[in-house]
Structure 1
Amino acid sequence: MSEHVIEVSNLSRHFGKKQALSDVSLSVPEGCVFGLVGENGAGKTTLLKHVLGFLKPQQGSVRVFGLDPVADPPGVLGRIGHLSENRDLPAWMTVRELIEFTRAFYPKWDPVYAEELRMMFELSLNQKVPTLSRGQLARAGLLVALAHRPPLLVLDEPSSGLDPVVRKDILDAIIRTVVDEGRTVLFSSHLLDEVQRVSDRIAILDQGKLLLTSPLDEVLVSHYQLTIRFLEPQPYFPQLTGALMWSGSGREWKIVCNGQKQELETELEQLEAEILDQTAPTLEEIFVARMKSAQRALEKD
């Protein structure tokens, strides 16, 4: 089997006239936390549904554990723990019944671990699923996703709509799972600070297109934020090598850049501009800069 748990190659998908995914290729290595980020409608959930075998590729291929998830659902889904954004758990069950029901599908279910998770998540066995809060639903869904100790977790917006305390519980459980047991996690999220906290690798999707996929450390190191001052006020920001996003007016501007720093410094010198400060942008700032750069490119086309 490949060292990559998930391999997506040239995946495209249309829903009517809307292109949900366009020639997406990415790989998820074994034992890593892979964060999939993008705005609503970017294609994150559609990509996850292909990984789970819920959708068949119209173009390209998807392999999970070296298998086609559409052609071999038992070989793939039995090794995946899945938490959907909708938290669609059976509404007629209690937490106890949910645990017992799910346990029947997984020979490797660990009842001791399940109880440990239940206690950690403060879930009552007798509480009925319809009465659970959004945070409790997320915890219950994560419990049944984790308790059979799957080698791969696929989580769609696991922290969506949750308060900070519950989000921390969810993330702590994910981190513990990976650190202690070496599992692989693929998750989508719009909360960039959390993605930055837990991810080893990330991919950014925009309108179905992959803007980048890379180890998180490389993404953070390759981008930088400068505060610059021109000798004379500028009516608009000049085109500079590597500049993705800018804000300011007059003489002083702040820019987020990607690589090519030597070329940029040469251009600034020619424009009689000085660098006042350099800082490391957050993943959220990099994401916004990439999105604005992609939007400008689209408008030019």
Structure 2
Amino acid sequence: MRQRPLRRHVLAALAAAGLLLGIVPTAAADAPSGRSGAAAPARVSVPPGSVVVGRGRVASASASAAAAADGTVCNFGACYDYVAGRQYADASGAAVKLKIVRPELDPADLSSHSLHELAVESADGSQIVEVGWTADRGLNGDATPHLFVYHWVDGQPTCYNGCGFVSTSSTVRPAMTLPVGTQRTFQINHVGTQWRLALNGKVFGYFPDSLWGGRFSRLGLVQAFGEVASTTAPTCSDMGNGQFGKSASASLISGFKLLNSTTPVAFSMLATTPRLYSAANITSTSFRLGGPGSGRCAAA
């Protein structure tokens, strides 16, 4: 029987809770360590889509190295780790290239997932549109990477691949598998009265403005990140392909751009637990990311 998928992301409410997460230094800390319409179960009690360091502090790509403490966040039976690039901006949308990989997931934790995604949000993080790929056995029934979409309204979760999403393509559809080893451009852009989602330049659907009562039509915050969710911490599930960000073969997020914006592009970076999952080769538009978590998973 499929497990219900964990639902995600840790953002500004972490600051309000006084939780302090690890900041990614420019010389990243890479020390090795010993279904469509699926509903969201109990989750970390904060909105998704963003990752904010405690009290709102973030580290820029050009910042000097900073000490990093373990920042895995566990609550309500789920634990989350992130490596994220983020930027506050005024724009109609954003686009980024995500490497498609097949992470190793803990065989004993059928609720775990590992993903890469692009999220556009209101400046306060309460209204969110997401697109990306996820390896999630509870959601998709297997551990291969699948396309997903998601959205939040007033800080409240909805569901994967449905809940108002309108598909417009017969060839690109949420929940479809994506080819491992390739890189794809994911885009979210507001046009007319729709948040339109595209894969490699092909629009495949949209979330209508009516889902937000017409209150969300420009982004104030955009993030591109890797995420690992598990029921215990630390977990042996990979972020990306299990290689730390310093590896030339690590997973890659690149080609970040803002759409219809005068804001200069410049990622700020953070990682919750750099000894498990890290970033390196950071520029204003790209970074390598990943890690093996607590190490290679034992056979179930």
Would you tell me which structure has more strand in proportion to its own residues?
A: 2
Instruction: Quickly name the TM-score band, shorter chain normalised.
Output: under 0.3
Q: Which has the higher contact order (CA 8 A, sep 6+)?
A: 2
Give me the TM-score of the superposition, normalised by structure 2: 0.25
Would you tell me which structure has more helix in proportion to its own residues?
A: 1
Give me the TM-score of the superposition, normalised by structure 1: 0.25
